Each structure stands twice: as C-alpha cells, then as structure tokens.
Structure 1
Amino acid sequence: MAEAQLQQFLEKVRQLNAFVELTETDPALRQALRDCEHHHQVVELASRCGFEIGRRWGEPPQPGAVSTNLLSQPCPPQGAESCSVLVRGEGWRLERIHSCAATTPGDQWYDQTEHEWITLVQGSALLQFADEPGARALQQGDWMLIAPHRRHRVVATDPAPGSVWLALFWSASCAG
C-alpha cells in the first residue's frame, strides 16, 4: 500500500472512531444510529454529523463537501439539529451545531463525561441546567463552560435560519 493510500485508510478509521465517540456522548444520535436499517442510512447519518465514512480509498471528496463558513450550511429541518466536527485533536474536538426550533426531549438530560465550552454564533436559545430553577436565555455571542456531568438540556432554539453553536469538548486528561 502506498503512503497516500495508507493515509486515506487511517483518515477513514479516524472518521469512524470519531463518529462512534460522538454516538457514545449523544443519546439522540445513538438512538438515530440504532434506528438505521442498512449501511446507506448509517453513512447518511454520519455525513449529517460531518463524517465521511462511506467514501472508498482514493475517491475525491464530493464537490462542496467541506465549507469553511460557519453560517453557509442549509438550516436543518424544523425540530432537528445537525452536528459537524470541524477539527479534532488528542482528547478534544470542536463541533459546529446547527439547531432549528429544536429541543431536548422533556425526560432527557445531557450528562457528558467531557468539559464543554459553547458559544452561540447565530440566533438565540434557552438552556436549562438540572441544578437551576429556570432556563438561561442565550443570544448571539454568549458563551459558557459546562463542567463534566453537569446535567443540561436545550429548551428551545430559533426557527429557520436556526441557531448555530460552536462547541469545544475536551476530556479531563487534557484539562491539565
């Protein structure tokens, strides 16, 4: 195997591992993966999250597959959100999350093992923490740090064109 092919293979493995890691921290995504009935649905789900796991070695990326503009992506369907990993390193990843009139189901809370720093790049949102009596209103430019295992949920995000977030996740081992 030539070095270029080896690098393509290793990148695909990295993409697969990143997708698996994301499904382990996002219960809704894990359920969506569980609901897939065949390989093509898994590839499409991974693609909506920013991973290209279906491409064969040596195939070029699809035209326009990668955008460097945070606000140029189409809005997801109402009630949904799309996630893309923009960049990652050892023990951390930066995600773009685009929400459209989305909410976390009423009986569900995010309880992540990672640190999470978020900022709202576009739109507004209501974010509820289990240890606070009311939801926090966030608007464009607001940011916050969410400690590991601090249970939280999204109460509301804007309708189209939606709310766009940047979320930086890192493990305790990187917090040094």
Structure 2
Amino acid sequence: MAEAQLQQFLKKIEQLNAFVALSEAQPEVRQALQDCSNHHDVVQLAAQFGFEIGRRWGDSSPKQPRPTDQPNLLRGDRPTSGQERTDVLASGQHWRLERIHSCQASSPAEGWYDQEDSEWVLVLQGSASLQFEDEESPRDLCVGDALLIAPHRRHRVTATDPDPGTVWLALFWSADA
C-alpha cells in the first residue's frame, strides 16, 4: 500500500471512530444513526456533523489533479440526480462498449428495456437494482457484479446510487457479430 493510500485509510478510520464516539455520547445522534436505512443515509448523517466517511477505497480527492492523457472510467462529469449519462467508449460493426453513469436514476415505472442486442453489464462503482420482467424480485448489484442479458429479455433499472452515483461498463453486440 502506498503511503498516500495508507493515510487515506487511516483518515477514514479516524473519521469513523469520531462519528461512533459522537453517537455514543449523544443519544439523538445514535437514534438518527439507527433510523438510517442504508449506507448512503449513514454517509449523509455523518456529513451533517462534519465527518467525511463516504469516500470508497481508491477514491482520490477532488483536489488531486490527474493528467489529461490518463483517462479514468470512474471520473468525469456526473449526471444530475435522477439522470443517466452514456458515453460510447469504443464500437465496431456489430458491437459497442459504453460507460453508463447513473445518479439516483431508474427506468420509468411502466418502461422496460427490450433490446435487439445481447448485453453484458458490469458495475464498476456504486450499486443498483435491476428487475427482469420474468423474475419476481429485483436483483441487487454491487461493485464487481456482472450480468449477461439476452436479446429481448425485458428488464428495467429500479434504483441506482445517489451522488457519486453508479458507474456501469456495458458491452452490446448483435447476433450478426
């Protein structure tokens, strides 16, 4: 582990310990923590008290500039809440590779994707829930989870993370390939 990563890790532990100490000292903070229903609620609550616990392992500080010739799939313009941004990274005659950045976005309640192409999708950052029309419950996906979606298998996104959002890598290809 590089020294900078070690310092980032130790800083997060320090912030977590201080937030725990505050919740033990103040019953109202403990109750608010208990009322949180997910990780994002906890991060938001901690931020209200000045604690930065939301950065994930490997996230760099926005203050650290990156060389322009060193692209990173996890950085870039974030969509506004409720929106999604798609960038085609590469493509060929019968395929395309996309980076999809969703920020607290979901498919319309009545909307289903029914696509001609096969799709392989991988969650690079954040988490999401994806519902197949032929399954009773949505599938919860987190970093590293991948799915292969057959052509015409109707599906929809039911939830993605709030800021900084969910980043997907999606490969689409047609049967002609």
TM-score category, normalised to shorter length: 0.5 to 0.7
Q: Provide closer, same or farther for how the CA distance between residues 149 and 156 of structure 1 changes in structure 2, counting only shifts above 3 A.
A: same
1:173 counterpart SS class: coil
- CA-CA distance at 1:90 after TM superposition: 1.3
- Select which of 117, 125, 137 maps to 2:140: 137
Fraction of identical pairs, as percent:
58
Letter in 1 for 2:104: A
Q: In the aligned structure 1, how far is the partner of 2:136 from the partner of 2:68?
A: 42
Q: Deviations over 1:61-111 (max 9, x none)?
A: xxx999721011122100000000000011000000000000100000000
For residues 165 and 66 of structure 1, the distance between their equivalents in structure 2, rounded to whole angstroms, comes to 22
**1:114-153 alignment, distance < 5 Å:** 114-153=117-156
* Aligned pair partner of 2:158 in 151, 155, 167: 155
Runs of 4+ residues deviating >4 angstroms = 64-67
Give the match for residue 11 of structure 2.
Answer: none
Q: 1:119 to 1:170 in 2, by over 3 A?
A: same
Question: Could you say which residue in structure 1 is the equivalent of 2:71?
Answer: 68
Counterparts of 1:40-59 in structure 2 under 5 Å? none
Give 1:110's aligned amino acid: Y
In structure 1, stretches of 5+ residues that fail to align are: 1-63
2:27 paired residue number: none
- Decide which of 96, 107, 113 is 2:116's aligned counterpart: 113
CA distance in 2, matches of 1:155, 1:66: 35
**Residue 103, structure 1, aligned to residue 106, structure 2:** yes
Q: Kindly report the root-mean-square deviation, in angstroms, between the aligned alpha carbons of the 2 structures.
A: 1.6
Scaled by the length of structure 2, what TM-score is found?
A: 0.60
The count of corresponding residues between Structure 1 and Structure 2 is: 111
Name structure 2 gaps, 5 residues minimum.
1-66
Q: TM-score when scaled to structure 1?
A: 0.61
Q: Secondary structure at the match of 2:84?
A: strand
> Based on CA coordinates, which of the two structures has the bigger radius of gyration?
2
- Structure-2 change in CA distance of 1:67 and 1:164 (3 Å): farther
- The code of the aligned residue for 2:150 comes to A
Tell me the amino acid that sits aligned with residue 171 of structure 1: S
